Structure 1
Amino acid sequence: MRVRPGLAVLLSERPAWLRGRRAGLLLHQASVTPDLVPAQVALKEILGRDLVRLFSPQHGLYGTEQANMIPTGDEIDPLSGLPVVSLYGPRLRPEPAHFADLDLLLVDLQDVGCRVYTYLWTLYLLLESLSGSGVEVVILDRPNPLGGYVEGPLLSEDLLSFVGLFPLPMRHGLTLGEAALLFQRARGFDLELRVIRAEGLRREYTFPQTGLPWIPPSPNMPSFETALVYPGQVLLEGTNLSEGRGTTRPFELFGAPWLRPERVQAVLPEGLPGAKLRPVVFRPVFDKWKDRLVCGFQLHVTDLASFRPVRTTLLLLRVIAQTHPEFAFRLPPYEFEEKRLPIDIIAGHSDIRSFIVGKTDWEELDFFLKEGLTKYVDQVASLGLYKGRLFL
């Protein structure tokens, strides 16, 4: 196995600073050892009663809940018997009573490398909440499945929401450990932060290169192929197009009952670098267009190095908007935002909606997607956690 996640490193080293300290653990179903032992089970074996409680992000501890403001309640974990504090639904951040009796809080979450994926922001709110508390935060780092590829747009400060609380690009190129260090440096969080690095990880590794098993970190992220297209296809959540929820290929499949694939293919710019479209018909069993026949495409990635998921989906959305009068943007609420359009907070850039509806030129898209990224790449490189480089 090429890479050992931070959890495996901690379990093998059993550092002295871990002994005799009361700990909490933020995790989900993908938080497992390379041998597929759940993190809470493995850590309880070495911590015993010092592992006090668990915390869960969106979708719950076992990924049982769907997306967009479907809450998860507090519960008792059936595997460990420990209480679970939900950080999605009844609250988005821990309350002082949840960490008043803790010495440290371990974080073991598998992220997917996209700014919209909310585990990143659960971590951000956790760091903010624990600032000044005296509780140490320990990140058990895991690979970014998309490796060191970076793609904009960079989130505008006026579009902050629970799908973006810090100016990151859509495909951010960070591990969760790097993100935590970046947040602390930029926001000045007053806490001791320790990152247990993923052993053997290089920044350019995509998930298949790590040798680790893929465990779905959320109910609509069944495979690495899903994660690969997600930074672009998540934009469909801000429209009346199905993003494939309710099928076995979410985010790879997309469409609507009124979509005509031949119209899209007739006016699509020459080729989609690194990808091909296959016309399909599917019937979602839940979410948008439930139980309706949907016409659309499956997005197949043919070359990872040249594929740009955000640019690809924005090109598709522009063509669909111009060839189908039925196309519309979704209205709020979306991820606890009640006023602004979902497409704006997902895209994170005020000009993206104008591009989709044809009010700005094709040539301007690359400017939107690259603006500010050189400075961002330099900022991330200075964190120095992993060898390798970021790719624009």
Structure 2
Amino acid sequence: MKFTIFKNTVLLFVIVLISCGNIKKVEHRRQKTEGEILHFVQNDNLPVEGANQTEIYLPLLQGKRVGIVANQTSVIFKKEIATSLSAPRNDRYTHLVDSLLTLNIAIKKVFAPEHGFRGKADAGEHVEDGYDTKTNLPIVSLHGKNRKPTQEQLEDLDIVVFDIQDVGVRFYTYISTLHNVMEACAEANIPVLIFDRPNPNGHYIDGPTLKMENQSFLGMHPIPLVHGMTIGEYAQMINGEKWLAHELQCDIAIIPLKNYNHHTPYSLPIRPSPNLPNDQSIKLYPSLGLFEGTNVNAGRGTEFQFQRYGAPFLNSETMHFTYTPVANFGAKYPKHQNELCYGEDLRSEDIDGEMTLKWIIKAYQNSTDKSKFFNIDNFTKHAGTDQLQKQIESGMSEADIKTTWKDNLEVFKKTRKKYLLYD
């Protein structure tokens, strides 16, 4: 299939197509045309998100019927973001949907992932279709009665834009939504335009690799728990590895990041979901996210989500930190609601560039009733393999467990390299 929307346009030179795969060549062409058609944020030290490069993609949307996969992170940053991060939020960015409507782009509907369009729903919560109160646009939930757009929902569209901030962890479901959108659009012969954003955990690869018999919405592909790719790079992998049904390939184009490589520090200015409030929670998420498959609370129901863990059945003689989860924003029914939990506070923990098993191993070893610890099916879906639970239960050390991941990680790194857009 051809991505005919880009046919006969000079802007092809600044779009990374799935068939391209040679970012150096594209960047060379961009240097020739940048002074003529591109106007980026002036601070060359900051990454420039795909959504901010309006001069590139607006001509591709004009006159088209547009659907947008978006949430609260789908924003265009104002130039002041380079110098005034302390400014009020509304002065720092505008939502992509609001901006495109102002620019007379014909948005027909918004597709909302887990947590909803405004990002307020609990993890895993069923989200209904509806209308956005601000724009009156139809909102189609992709975390409700269907997680993949139906052909009927796509039939009035010419193109779909995908713009969601990811955090680079396999069980963070936005990459599953990406897969489903690409598959539905491939079936409908509708192109997908992807606005790339930095991956705050994009500088390393770690964790067990998913075995396909454990495939679920928490993990659809045979990748490590931390994959080290941006949304745009990951979309290329989905196509290139032929992971869509019937080995379909979706016509995609990517608006790549500027001033970015995989070692560029990036602090998310908007929480990507209700329970990832800050940089520390995002760094700890690959490690503490495994607690989601256990009966241990990982800070939901507090103001320090994914920065602590605890449970009533952890040993109070060895686990001296205590807290009590209560219903709050993003956690209507947290684990062990209104119960005193014993655990650890990790707000000051220095961790970057790795996921660790030390906390889940410690919690298991300090469980006064190990039969309560694992939610077996859910833990396997999060880990991607049933082997990890068996290894923890058998008393294997973290170092020995990580050794069993090594071969699969090396295979993945070679595959990943084919789809990278950035160093």
SS in 2 for 1:33: strand
For structure 2, the residue ranges without an aligned partner over 5 or more in a row are 1-42, 79-92, 328-333
Describe the superposition over 1:283-303 as per-residue Cα deviations: whole angstroms up to 9, x where unpaired.
111311111121211124654
SS in 2 for 1:372: helix
User: Partner residue of 2:299?
Assistant: 244
User: Partner residue of 1:24?
Assistant: 67
Describe the superposition over 1:312-367 as per-residue Cα deviations: whole angstroms up to 9, x where unpaired.
xx222223323323232444xxxxxxxx6111110112210012212546553122
1:199 aligns to 2:258 (yes or no): yes
Write the mapping of 1:225-304 to structure 2, written as runs, cut at 5 A.
Answer: 225-260=280-315, 262-263=317-318, 279-286=320-327, 287-300=334-347, 302-304=349-351
User: Partner residue of 2:363?
Assistant: 320
User: Partner residue of 2:219?
Assistant: 164
Kept in 2, the 8 Å contact 1:87–1:94? The answer is: yes
- Counterpart pick for 1:55 among 111, 114, 127: 111
Kept in 2, the 8 Å contact 1:133–1:191? The answer is: no
Following the alignment from structure 1 to structure 2, what is the Cα–Cα distance between the partners of residues 129 and 13? 25
For structure 1, the residue ranges without an aligned partner over 5 or more in a row are 265-278, 332-339
Describe the superposition over 1:160-203 as per-residue Cα deviations: whole angstroms up to 9, x where unpaired.
11100011111111111111110011124333110111121111
Pick closer, same or farther for the CA change 1:204–1:362 going to 2, 3 Å: closer
Following the alignment from structure 2 to structure 1, what is the Cα–Cα distance between the partners of residues 63 and 143? 30
Kept in 2, the 8 Å contact 1:242–1:254? The answer is: yes
RMSD in angstroms over aligned alpha carbons?
Answer: 1.9
Kept in 2, the 8 Å contact 1:113–1:144? The answer is: yes
Describe the superposition over 1:21-68 as per-residue Cα deviations: whole angstroms up to 9, x where unpaired.
1110000011111132011101112243x2111000011111221113
SS in 1 for 2:240: helix
Following the alignment from structure 2 to structure 1, what is the Cα–Cα distance between the partners of residues 366 and 302? 25
1:42 aligns to 2:99 (yes or no): yes
Letter in 1 for 2:369: E
- Counterpart pick for 1:79 among 112, 128, 134: 134
Following the alignment from structure 2 to structure 1, what is the Cα–Cα distance between the partners of residues 410 and 112? 34
Give how far 1:108 is off.
0.4
1:351 aligns to 2:387 (yes or no): yes
Describe the superposition over 1:79-111 as per-residue Cα deviations: whole angstroms up to 9, x where unpaired.
222111000011111111111111110000001
User: Partner residue of 2:51?
Assistant: 7
Following the alignment from structure 2 to structure 1, what is the Cα–Cα distance between the partners of residues 187 and 336? 47
SS in 2 for 1:341: helix
Describe the superposition over 1:204-233 as per-residue Cα deviations: whole angstroms up to 9, x where unpaired.
12323xxxx520111111112111100110
Kept in 2, the 8 Å contact 1:115–1:163? The answer is: yes
SS in 2 for 1:371: helix
SS in 2 for 1:194: strand
Kept in 1, the 8 Å contact 2:72–2:117? The answer is: yes
Kept in 1, the 8 Å contact 2:312–2:339? The answer is: yes
The number of residue pairs the alignment matches comes to 354
Following the alignment from structure 2 to structure 1, what is the Cα–Cα distance between the partners of residues 366 and 58? 60
Following the alignment from structure 2 to structure 1, what is the Cα–Cα distance between the partners of residues 138 and 309? 38
Structure 1 runs of 4+ with >6 Å offset: none
1:152 aligns to 2:207 (yes or no): yes
SS in 2 for 1:233: helix
User: Partner residue of 1:269?
Assistant: none
Range with greater deviation from structure 2 (59-68 or 319-328): 319-328
Following the alignment from structure 1 to structure 2, what is the Cα–Cα distance between the partners of residues 261 and 370? 36
1:64 aligns to 2:100 (yes or no): no
Kept in 1, the 8 Å contact 2:314–2:366? The answer is: no
Give how far 1:304 is off.
4.3
Kept in 2, the 8 Å contact 1:245–1:284? The answer is: yes
* TM-score, normalised relative to structure 2: 0.79
Following the alignment from structure 1 to structure 2, what is the Cα–Cα distance between the partners of residues 226 and 364? 26
Letter in 2 for 1:3: P
Following the alignment from structure 1 to structure 2, what is the Cα–Cα distance between the partners of residues 368 and 217? 32
User: Partner residue of 1:367?
Assistant: 403
SS in 2 for 1:260: coil
Pick closer, same or farther for the CA change 1:153–1:27 going to 2, 3 Å: same
1:308 aligns to 2:354 (yes or no): yes
Letter in 1 for 2:377: L
Kept in 2, the 8 Å contact 1:151–1:370? The answer is: no
Pick closer, same or farther for the CA change 1:147–1:206 going to 2, 3 Å: farther
Pick closer, same or farther for the CA change 1:362–1:168 going to 2, 3 Å: closer
Kept in 1, the 8 Å contact 2:211–2:384? The answer is: yes
User: Partner residue of 2:31?
Assistant: none
1:385 aligns to 2:397 (yes or no): no
